[in-house]
């Protein structure tokens, strides 16, 4: 006889508020998901990228000029914010979080100065990103102000999961730091859509690609995009670069676009259900725990609505993930867990007990 528990979750969403979708996206079909949405956004940010910027120039605006404006520190506009930085209050300059705009590096000796970090490293693109003429290598969406020594330490290390401040791990990979991991993820996603054949995320991110249907987006970037929401600095920076280049980073405007394209943990939805223009009827579905077959089953939910199921332990760790209605749990200890059900309408979290 099957040992079966049933939980009925009813969620009321009829009063869902909708965020304002920028006019930049007025011709995008936001009812699309997956590759169809990815391709539309890719076309948009390519066709609107009207101004290619010189990397360094004495005769016209160049990337130095833009970064000094786009990466300005809001609390002191004489400074830029340094990616991967975290401490302005110790004697170590390499970990500085801000630095005077005037201390930019234009010589061979740059200790204590800042330069331009290619978040998607030049050498990990195929072909390599180059800076001797305007193009992918001079796209300012991919350039961040960075301490010279930290930039050298990061070099072309691939991004890897971690926690705390920026650092290299024992495998020789790079963790950008808790403050910057979402920024990095959204830049990598932008570069993939803007230069899809040259800047593949799997060339710069370590780990599995279980979330994305085509295996083209490392899970680490989807996790970072979800766990580190867009900052006001990112929004201001996106606007500043768009005013010069003409195109925007869609994943800063709405991180949830990444969820619609590649699945994974639900990111912040700044447009409140980007792929619909109407309120939703009540979600009414059931969660069944089948202890005999070691399964958690979701019933009464449209397959086209479900994005993911996640089983989370009480430490907050995702221990099981599925993109269909069933989570298999043969190797789990008895105890209390959280199940997170992510649909195109939102995310729902409940405690369950496994025996």
The pTM of this model reads: 0.76
List C-alpha distances in Å: 289 to 6, 285, 297, 332: 6, 13, 6, 13
The CATH number given to whatever domain includes residue 327 is 2.60.40.3080
Q: Please answer whether residues 199 and 192 qualify as being in contact, where contact means their C-beta atoms are separated by less than 8 angstroms.
A: yes
With respect to residue 270, please indicate whether it lies within any of the assigned structural domains.
no
Could you please report the per-residue DSSP string of 162-178? Answer: --SS-EE-TTS-EE--T
With respect to residue 337, please indicate whether it lies within any of the assigned structural domains.
yes
pLDDT band per the 50, 70, 90 thresholds, residue 283: low
103 shares a domain with 153: yes
pLDDT band per the 50, 70, 90 thresholds, residue 316: low
pLDDT band per the 50, 70, 90 thresholds, residue 351: low
Q: What are phi and psi of 80, to 5 degrees?
A: -110, 155
315 shares a domain with 339: yes
196 shares a domain with 283: no
SS3 content of the chain, % helix, strand, coil (to 5): 25, 25, 50
The pLDDT of residue 120: 99
pLDDT band per the 50, 70, 90 thresholds, residue 12: very low
106 shares a domain with 66: yes
DSSP conformational letter for 133: S
Q: Please answer whether residues 83 and 183 qualify as being in contact, where contact means their C-beta atoms are separated by less than 8 angstroms.
A: yes
With respect to residue 234, please indicate whether it lies within any of the assigned structural domains.
yes
Question: What's the pLDDT tens digit per position in 24-71?
Answer: 999 999 989 999 999 999 999 999 999 999 999 999 999 999 999 999
With respect to residue 350, please indicate whether it lies within any of the assigned structural domains.
yes
The pLDDT of residue 273: 53
> With 60 as the cut, is the pLDDT of residue 144 above it?
yes
Residue where a domain stops, chosen among 230, 262, 294:
262
292 shares a domain with 325: yes
Its domain, for residue 228, covers 29-262
> With 60 as the cut, is the pLDDT of residue 205 above it?
yes
With respect to residue 268, please indicate whether it lies within any of the assigned structural domains.
no
174 shares a domain with 38: yes
Residue where a domain stops, chosen among 236, 262, 288:
262
The pLDDT of residue 353: 72
Count CB neighbours of 351 within 10 A: 11
Sign of the alpha-carbon dihedral angle for 126, 127, 132, 135 = negative
For the chain, how long is the longest CA-to-CA vector? Answer: 80
Count of alpha carbons within 13 angstroms of residue 80, beta-carbon side: 25
CA–CA dist 159, 321 (Å, integer): 22
Work out the mean pLDDT of the chain and round it to a whole number.
88
The pLDDT of residue 219: 96
128 shares a domain with 11: no
pLDDT band per the 50, 70, 90 thresholds, residue 284: low
With respect to residue 238, please indicate whether it lies within any of the assigned structural domains.
yes
Residue closest to 206 by CA, chosen among 164, 242, 162:
162
Number of domains in the chain: 2
Question: What's the pLDDT tens digit per position in 263-278?
Answer: 998 898 888 754 533 3
Mean pLDDT of the 103-121 span: 96
246 shares a domain with 179: yes
Burial readout 141-158 (b: 16 or more C-beta within 10 A, e: otherwise): bbbbbbbbbbbeebeebb
The pLDDT of residue 9: 39
226 shares a domain with 200: yes
Residue where a domain stops, chosen among 237, 262, 287:
262
Residue 308 or 182, more confident? 182
297 shares a domain with 249: no
Question: What's the pLDDT tens digit per position in 76-85?
Answer: 999 999 999 9
> What residues does 10 pair with on adjacent strands?
284
With respect to residue 100, please indicate whether it lies within any of the assigned structural domains.
yes
CA–CA dist 286, 83 (Å, integer): 44
The pLDDT of residue 301: 78
308 shares a domain with 237: no
With respect to residue 269, please indicate whether it lies within any of the assigned structural domains.
no
208 shares a domain with 304: no
List C-alpha distances in Å: 105 to 109, 117, 207: 8, 12, 34
Question: What's the pLDDT tens digit per position in 151-199?
Answer: 999 999 999 999 999 999 999 999 999 999 999 999 999 999 999 999 9
pLDDT band per the 50, 70, 90 thresholds, residue 349: low
């Amino acid at each position: 006889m099957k040992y079966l528990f049933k939980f009925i979750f009813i969620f009321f969403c009829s009063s869902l508020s909708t965020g304002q979708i920028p006019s930049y996206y007025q011709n995008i079909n936001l009812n699309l998901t997956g590759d169809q949405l990815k391709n539309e956004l890719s076309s948009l940010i390519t066709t609107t990228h009207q101004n290619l910027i010189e990397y360094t120039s004495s005769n016209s605006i160049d990337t130095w000029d833009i970064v000094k404006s786009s990466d300005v520190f809001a609390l002191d506009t004489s400074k830029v914010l340094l990616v991967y930085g975290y401490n302005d209050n110790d004697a170590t300059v390499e970990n500085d979080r801000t630095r005077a705009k005037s201390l930019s590096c234009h010589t061979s000796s740059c200790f204590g100065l800042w330069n331009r970090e290619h978040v998607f490293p030049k050498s990990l693109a195929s072909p390599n990103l180059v800076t001797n003429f305007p193009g992918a290598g001079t796209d300012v969406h991919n350039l961040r102000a960075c301490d010279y020594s930290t930039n050298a330490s990061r070099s072309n290390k691939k991004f890897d999961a971690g926690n705390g401040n920026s650092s290299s791990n024992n495998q020789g990979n790079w963790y950008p730091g808790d403050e910057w991991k979402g920024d990095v993820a959204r830049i990598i996603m932008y570069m993939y859509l803007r230069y899809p054949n040259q800047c593949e995320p799997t060339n710069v991110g370590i780990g599995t690609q279980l979330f994305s249907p085509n295996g083209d987006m490392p899970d680490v970037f989807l996790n970072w995009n979800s766990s580190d929401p867009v900052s006001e600095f990112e929004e201001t920076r996106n606007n500043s670069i768009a005013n010069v280049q003409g195109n925007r980073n869609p994943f800063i405007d709405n991180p949830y676009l990444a969820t619609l394209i590649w699945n994974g943990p639900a990111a912040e939805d700044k447009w409140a259900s980007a792929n619909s223009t109407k309120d939703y009827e009540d979600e009414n579905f059931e969660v069944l725990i089948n202890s005999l077959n070691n399964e958690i089953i979701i019933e009464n939910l449209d397959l086209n609505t479900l994005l993911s199921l996640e089983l989370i332990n009480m430490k907050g760790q995702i221990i099981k993930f599925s993109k269909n209605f069933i989570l298999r749990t043969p190797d789990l200890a008895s105890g209390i867990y959280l199940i997170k059900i992510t649909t195109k309408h939102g995310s729902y979290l409940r405690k369950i007990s496994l025996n």
